[in-house]
Amino acid sequence: MSSYKLSVLSSLIFFAAVAISCNHSEKKSDKIEIRVEQLLEKMTLDDKIGQMTQVDPGFAGGDEQLKKSVRDGRYGSILNLWGVEKVNEMQKIAIEESRLGIPLLIGRDVIHGYRTIFPIPLGMAASWNPEIVKKAFRISAIECSSQGIKWTFAPMIDITWDPRWGRIAEGCGEDPYLASTLSKAMVEGIQGDNLTDPTAVAACAKHFAGYGFSEGGRDYNTTYISEPVLRNVVLKPFKAAKDAGALTFMSGFNDLNGVPATGNEFTLRQILRKEWGFQGMVVSDWSSISEMISHGFCANEKEAAYKALTAGVDMEMSSFTYAGNLKTLLKEGKIDQKLVDDAVRNILRVKFKLGLFENPYVNPEAQKQVLNPEFLDHARTVARESAVLLKNKNKTLPLSPKIHSVAVIGPLADSPRDQLGTWVFDGKAENSVTPLTALKELLGADKVNYIKGLQYSRDKNKSEFAKTVALAKQSDAIVYFGGEEWILSGEGQCRGEINMPGAQDELIEALASTGKPLVVVIMAGRPLAIGNLLAKADAVLYGWHGGSMAGPALADLIFGKESPSGKLPVTFVKGSGQIPFYYYHNNTGRPASAKNWTPMDSIPVVNPQTSLGYKSFQLDYGFTPLLPFGFGLSYTTFNYSDLKLSAMSMSTTGSIEIKANVANSGDMDADEIVQLYIRDRVGSITRPVKELKGYKRVTIKQGKNVEIIFRLEAKDLEFFNGKANVIEPGEFDVWIGPNSAEGLHGEFTIH
Ligand code: NOJ
């Protein structure tokens, strides 16, 4: 055994013993504070600035230079270094050869899986199932920590109202309540129950704050967000992440109300640190400190470093404004030493909490912890629960496994990389099981008639159409797999129009004209404007980019092993011109209704001067979206009845129970996601027409019913009114229902 291996082993044994001896978390945190101070005292300014700098090996001047810099204590963290040997080698230099032996924090984007890839986060959000989401993130942490990654830049919890924005794929959709429950689950999954466990990974709530509101859905763009929207919507999932113990936050790229998020004292210092008491570490986004120069907020790197540090960014990702300027800023008396020390404290605290000083190395044995069958099985479960059934005319789905032949068509039926979705650095296409493979396995290859029809999602070449239609005609049913390639969503990958790319709509129309049962399965990174195909297809299943096991999961649903049970975490618009359209909009002074809007085609050619009803709608799109938030069908039917409230009124400190009966009146056991909405009728500022306040995913057996009980506390109705957080007495509507547009209605008051 080499002396290096021996030293790793002995430190593993020694420090495992130390870890066991300090059990009590309170004592532990006192101890950590003492250790932070003791270490801080020994640090030179260079050591401190080093801790505040994170580098990507590709930008470190080559391998030897990187090693030298680590030896010199110039970096506190490296991102995008992975693999047991490399990480252990670099860590050994930091521990054994740098002056103070401070371990490196190794970070990477592990957004929806490491090697086992789960559905894109927007897809996971459609499961409305925090438990399975938590487990998915736990698995990601087990896998990535086995390669030396102890910090992931997840969860991404940016609320957005704009499906054009490519990064909608990475978040939990439009709703602050749903996103908050999932944000908590994600943080808990990533960090696990014990931060010093070798599989614990530090979470990073990002991008703080408002990045999802970029103008026009163009990535990196300006955001203007009123303080009520910021506090009532955007910040909610971040607060949930903080409360769940997220060790780190990342500041965003965006300019927020004229102040870049990375130099924003209001969000980073006032809200995050002072109001919420966050004690973890804030890292900038990639070069977002130096980008404050392009924003026109700073004249040069020195000013950028000054503004980021003053605002509360502890560690700089990838650019070097701290390394280049903090010393001068201190010398010139522009910043206080305490600012630097506090930043270093925040960084060291995370390292101590993660047990990195005791256990800096990755155990090579842990490497085997990837793609284990249990993980893949969970990926299949999550993909299954994430898929949303949007249409099912005459019970087209499920198809019978006894079917004689199925035409499997479309650019995404057998596209292993595309089904993984965006933000996949380590997942491999070769580990994907595609729908084509899964269907062949399920039915037998001889029953599957496969043709792509279009080679990729943007393909406009119709030369295979005739052949495709002919094959469809020979089959008992058609299952079309289309949508978007992975590259059409994600960072920087935004669209102006969000319709089906390429000639897909035309191909679907041609397939519909065969008269064969037509099932369309969409795999995409965003909610597409699918009005055309929704009208043509007999059944539509929205599978998002479903990850490694998307194929078997979709096959399970198509052939009825289980019923689809996901619900939309985002409103589906009819077209880009309807954006933004989110269900919790305010009412306006002139709300439209079915009775008072005028469709464009019904307008006479010659008109008197008129405003066509003086209501808030669009002549072409009307006033409703294509599909509402929370929507999703099932193979069975659920009937809602007997809404009851435990009281008609509660005090501002009270609570009430709201219950309803949900019966499975169809012919299959299935899950239903029961949703609780309220409306605060009159407020000191105008209030949304509906707000989600609770949900429950329940399995209801065929022919059975379940009483669903929600406890609503008055404090759940608190909101920021521009001046303060208030719970305002008054009248409220309440609904329990299957989505945001339907439900049993009741009312109560707060006195
Ligand atoms: C930029 C992205 O905005 C951020 O989400 C990511 O974590 C970093 N790059 C690191 O890759």
Decide if pLDDT at 425 tops 70: yes
User: Atom 8 in ligand 1: which residue has the minimum CA distance?
Assistant: 286
Last residue of a domain, one of 106, 121, 155: 106
**431 Cα: distance to centroid of ligand 1 (angstroms):** 25
Alpha helices for 279-389 (secondary structure H): 291-294, 301-311, 321-331, 337-353, 373-386
In the prediction, which pLDDT does 22 show?
A: 41
Residue 696 lies in a domain: yes
**465 Cα: distance to centroid of ligand 1 (angstroms):** 40
**138 Cα: distance to centroid of ligand 1 (angstroms):** 21
Residue 83 confidence class, pLDDT cut points 50, 70, 90 = confident
Indicate which atom in ligand 1 lies nearest the CA of residue 156. Answer: 5
* CA 138 from centre of chain: 15
Decide if pLDDT at 624 tops 60: yes
Q: What is residue 40's three-state secondary structure?
A: helix
What confidence tens digit (pLDDT) does each residue in 672-719 have?
A: 999 999 999 999 999 999 999 999 999 999 999 999 999 999 999 999
Residue 136 lies in a domain: no
**How are beta strands 670-680 and 655-664 bridged, if at all?**
unpaired
Decide if pLDDT at 59 tops 80: yes
Indicate which atom in ligand 1 lies nearest the CA of residue 107. Answer: 10
Q: Tell me the CA distances in angstroms from 431 to 158, 386, 420, 493, 549, one per residue in order.
A: 29, 20, 10, 25, 9
Residue 652 lies in a domain: yes
In the prediction, which pLDDT does 17 show?
A: 37
In the prediction, which pLDDT does 289 show?
A: 98
Q: What is residue 656's three-state secondary structure?
A: strand
Decide if pLDDT at 256 tops 70: yes
Q: Which residues contact 63 (CB under 8 A, 6 or more apart)?
A: 57
Active-site residues, by number, are 285
Q: For residues 622 and 478, what is the distance between their CA atoms, to the nearest angstrom?
A: 32
In the prediction, which pLDDT does 679 show?
A: 98
**Higher per-residue confidence, 12 vs 277:** 277
Question: 703: domain CATH number?
Answer: 2.60.40.10
Residue 26 confidence class, pLDDT cut points 50, 70, 90 = low
Largest CA distance in the chain: 93
With CA atoms as reference, report the closest residue to 717 among 648, 645, 655.
655
Domain with 49, as residue range(s), is: 44-106
In the prediction, which pLDDT does 10 show?
A: 37
Residue 24 confidence class, pLDDT cut points 50, 70, 90 = low
Q: For residues 86 and 629, what is the distance between their CA atoms, to the nearest angstrom?
A: 45
Torsion of CA 175, 181, 182, 184, to 10 degrees: 130
Residue to mutate, 55, 79, 151, 153, ligand 1, most ligand atoms under 8 Å from C-beta: 153
170 neighbors 120 (Cβ within 8 angstroms) = yes
**382 Cα: distance to centroid of ligand 1 (angstroms):** 25
Residue 305 lies in a domain: no
Mean pLDDT of 81-96: 95
Indicate which atom in ligand 1 lies nearest the CA of residue 252. Answer: 3
User: Atom 9 in ligand 1: which residue has the minimum CA distance?
Assistant: 286
- Ligand 1 first shell, C-beta below 6 A: 109, 153, 206, 285-286, 491
What confidence tens digit (pLDDT) does each residue in 299-344 have?
A: 999 999 999 999 999 999 999 999 999 999 999 999 999 999 999 9
Residue 671 lies in a domain: yes
**468 Cα: distance to centroid of ligand 1 (angstroms):** 41
User: Atom 1 in ligand 1: which residue has the minimum CA distance?
Assistant: 286
Indicate which atom in ligand 1 lies nearest the CA of residue 211. Answer: 3
Residue 28 confidence class, pLDDT cut points 50, 70, 90 = confident
With CA atoms as reference, report the closest residue to 144 among 176, 192, 185.
192
Lookup: tokens for 130: 């925090």
Specify the number of domains making up the chain. Answer: 2
User: Atom 4 in ligand 1: which residue has the minimum CA distance?
Assistant: 285
In the prediction, which pLDDT does 12 show?
A: 40
Residue 18 confidence class, pLDDT cut points 50, 70, 90 = very low
**Higher per-residue confidence, 82 vs 322:** 322
In the prediction, which pLDDT does 399 show?
A: 98
User: Atom 11 in ligand 1: which residue has the minimum CA distance?
Assistant: 109
Residue 32 lies in a domain: no
* CA 359 from centre of chain: 30
Prediction pTM value: 0.96
Residue 366 confidence class, pLDDT cut points 50, 70, 90 = confident
Q: What is the mean pLDDT of the chain?
A: 96
Decide: residue 724, CB within 10 A, 0-12 exposed, 13-18 middle, 19+ buried.
exposed
Q: For residues 235 and 230, what is the distance between their CA atoms, to the nearest angstrom?
A: 6
Indicate which atom in ligand 1 lies nearest the CA of residue 207. Answer: 5
Q: What is residue 238's three-state secondary structure?
A: helix
In the prediction, which pLDDT does 25 show?
A: 58
Indicate which atom in ligand 1 lies nearest the CA of residue 204. Answer: 7
User: Atom 3 in ligand 1: which residue has the minimum CA distance?
Assistant: 285
Residue 691 lies in a domain: yes
In the prediction, which pLDDT does 11 show?
A: 39
Mean pLDDT of 507-518: 98
**152 Cα: distance to centroid of ligand 1 (angstroms):** 10
Residue to mutate, 80, 158, 204, 250, ligand 1, most ligand atoms under 8 Å from C-beta: 250
User: Which segments within 633-703 are labelled E, that is strand?
Assistant: 638-645, 649-650, 655-664, 670-680, 691-700
Q: For residues 376 and 369, what is the distance between their CA atoms, to the nearest angstrom?
A: 12
742-750 sheet: strands from edge to edge: 649-650, 742-750, 730-739, 670-680, 691-700
What confidence tens digit (pLDDT) does each residue in 258-299 have?
A: 999 999 999 999 999 999 999 999 999 999 999 999 999 999
Q: For residues 50 and 729, what is the distance between their CA atoms, to the nearest angstrom?
A: 53
Last residue of a domain, one of 106, 136, 159: 106
Residue 608 lies in a domain: no
**81 Cα: distance to centroid of ligand 1 (angstroms):** 15
In the prediction, which pLDDT does 134 show?
A: 99
Last residue of a domain, one of 74, 106, 138: 106
